[in-house]
Amino acid sequence: MKQEIKPVHGMWASRWVFILAATGSAVGLGNIWRFPYITGENGGGAFVLLYLLCIAVVGIPIMAAEVMLGRKGGLSPINSMRKVAADSKVTQRWAGIGYLGALSAFLILSFYSAVASWALYYAWEAVRGVFEGITATQSEAHFNDMLANPGLLLGYHTLFMVLTMVVVARGVKGGLEKAVQILMPLLFVLLLVLVGYAATTPGFKEGISFLFAFDFSKLTGKAIIVAVGQAFFTLSLGMGAIMAYGAYMPKTVKDKKTGRSRPVSIMSTVAIIALLDTLVALGAGVAMFPLLFSNGLEVSQGPGMMFVTLPLAFGQMPGGLLFGSLFFVLVVCAAWSSSISLGEPVVAWLVERGLKRPMAALVVGLGAWLLGVGSVLSFNVWKDHTFLVGTFFDNMEFLSTTVMLPLGGLLIAIFAGWVMKETQARKELAMQNFKLYLVWRALVRIFSPVAVIALFVYSIWATFA
Ligand code: PFF
Ligand code: NA
């Protein structure tokens, strides 16, 4: 007899709700804050092209693999991996993917909250009208003043972590989908408003050509691994967030015409999520780079980019007070739905180990908060304490995003392509188009692992040669 797994953590109501939740996870600070600033630091066009390629040929197939593994396992990533490994009669060591993911989630959550707290503060500042008529120099000074104030930042970091963990403690199902359904389209509209404004500024042409002129001589070894890491980060891959959400995805859907149930296709679902995520990232880039050139600001100014440029736009455009306030509130919401998905895999695992959900959320939240204090202080008290790649914050960001996520993704691809029973993968993916299935299989077996390894090796070689 086949045993049905019982959904301990609940199920999404439909495929559509899964898409909303996974889009909520994907779209966040990675698109609006991180993508523009690392693009600026890594020379623009060629970096963007490489990033887009990574999304298409590495990100999408691995995302499908994660959803497939999660749905097959039906549990937290650690236990889903255990279960799928047992079903395929291979060693339980593959659960290590889940443990690595849990560690990545924890590290990312810590600095993610630190940055989200800047957006939280900026939402408040926007409402107060602080950005009205602001100049470039004032905007930079405003950002630096905020960073120099650890007490203020700690307060907002605490608030953001509490917001995140309250939702995770109550179970991520209820409410999240409704929120995402309203907030994401609004975010799109506001990005369009910003792009419209950017188009009226004198630096528009220069901004666009910085983003889309492919000058490969600018591509350094480090830029290459950063692009790979960003592809994973922005799609929430390589650490089990999408696997955890995949576990709550229904296996079948009622066909509207025939009334019979048919399997839910994973591939088309994943393509929609990746497309939406990419649109938001490119929109943010198109909105911000023209402002840099129009105002004589540095393209490689780092993590402050969105916080320095956008107030300039809101300070000058008609209706800027309303748009600016709304925009920063939406950024906070986008970051919120992402950080929830960072907490969920670890909390779900603790719940399976017998902890009550609120207790599990408290433990994870406290731990990530404490680690996050290191990131908060990296911009003031510990600014000059640098080691390895930079400050404590720089190291957290680099280690988790650029090293651990691609490593996790690589292991997931190898597991899905080589280790797991082929028939199981095919059945779970339930693709109607067999040719497309073969493409997916070739990508996760050969192309994605080879690409990740080759880009890694090449960038290390290019850095040290
Ligand atoms: N994808 C999110 C973003 O782009 O902001 C960040 C993220 C969320 C990364 C969840 C990883 C994750 F598991
Ligand atoms: Na993203």
Q: Please give all residues whose beta carbon lies within 6 A of any atom in ligand 1, as ranges.
A: 25-26, 28-31, 105, 108, 233-234, 236, 239, 241, 338, 341-342
Residue 236 gets the label, from left (phi > 0), alpha (psi -120 to 50) or beta, of left
- The whole-angstrom separation of Cα 99 and Cα 177 is 27
The per-residue pLDDT for 117 is 98
Q: What is the pLDDT of residues 241-266, one digit of tens each?
A: 999 999 999 888 777 788 888 778 89
User: Which residues are CB-contacts of 48 (< 8 A; sequence separation ≥ 6)?
Assistant: 39, 211, 212, 285
Give the C-alpha distances (Å, rounded to integers) separating 319 from 138, 316, 350: 20, 9, 47
Least confident of 161-170, 271-280, 450-459: 450-459
- The whole-angstrom separation of Cα 338 and Cα 115 is 13
The per-residue pLDDT for 412 is 98
Q: What is the pLDDT of residues 377-429, one digit of tens each?
A: 999 999 999 999 999 999 999 999 999 999 999 999 999 999 999 999 999 99
Q: Which two tokens stand for residue 140?
A: 């930079």
Q: What is the pLDDT of residues 171-228, one digit of tens each?
A: 887 767 778 888 889 999 999 999 999 999 999 999 999 999 998 888 888 899 999 9
Ligand 1 centre distance from Cα of residue 233 (Å): 5
Nearest CA to 407 out of 345, 453, 463, 349 is that of 453
The per-residue pLDDT for 324 is 96
Ligand 2 centre distance from Cα of residue 222 (Å): 20
Looking at residues 103-119, what average pLDDT do you find?
97
C-alpha torsion 269→413→9→108, nearest 10: -100
Least confident of 160-174, 252-266, 278-292, 334-348: 252-266
Ligand 1 centre distance from Cα of residue 99 (Å): 17
- The whole-angstrom separation of Cα 187 and Cα 86 is 43
Looking at residues 153-167, what average pLDDT do you find?
97
Residue 447 has pLDDT above 80, yes or no: yes
Residue 237 has pLDDT above 50, yes or no: yes
Confidence of residue 109 (pLDDT cuts 50, 70, 90): very high
Helix (H, G, I), strand (E, B) or coil at 251: coil
The per-residue pLDDT for 1 is 37
37, 338, 344, 404: residue to mutate for ligand 1 pocket, most atoms within 8 A of CB = 338
The per-residue pLDDT for 393 is 98
C-alpha torsion 332→189→33→413, nearest 10: 100
- CA angle (266, 268, 273) in 5-degree steps: 95
The per-residue pLDDT for 258 is 84
For the domain 15-114+167-306+331-464, what is the CATH code?
1.20.1740
- The whole-angstrom separation of Cα 40 and Cα 44 is 6
67, 230, 233, 337: residue to mutate for ligand 1 pocket, most atoms within 8 A of CB = 233
The per-residue pLDDT for 107 is 97
Nearest CA to 222 out of 23, 390, 6, 442 is that of 390
Ligand 1 atom closest to the Cα of residue 31 is 4
Q: Which residue has the higher pLDDT, 59 or 456?
A: 59
Q: What is the pLDDT of residues 348-380, one digit of tens each?
A: 999 999 999 999 999 999 999 999 999 999 999
Indicate which ligand has the atom closest to the C-alpha of 63.
1
Residue 231 has pLDDT above 70, yes or no: yes
Looking at residues 76-93, what average pLDDT do you find?
96
Q: What is the pLDDT of residues 43-59, one digit of tens each?
A: 999 999 999 999 999 99
Task: Residue count of the chain, please give it.
Answer: 465
Q: What is the pLDDT of residues 5-46, one digit of tens each?
A: 456 888 888 888 899 999 999 999 999 999 999 999 999 999
For residue 181, the Cα-to-chain-centroid distance in whole angstroms is 18
The per-residue pLDDT for 254 is 78
Residue 2 has pLDDT above 50, yes or no: no
Q: Which residue has the higher pLDDT, 117 or 8?
A: 117
Q: Which two tokens stand for residue 391?
A: 């400050």
Helix (H, G, I), strand (E, B) or coil at 91: coil
Indicate which ligand has the atom closest to the C-alpha of 408.
1
Residue 127 has pLDDT above 70, yes or no: yes
Question: What is the number of other CB atoms lying within 10 angstroms of the CB of residue 101?
Answer: 31
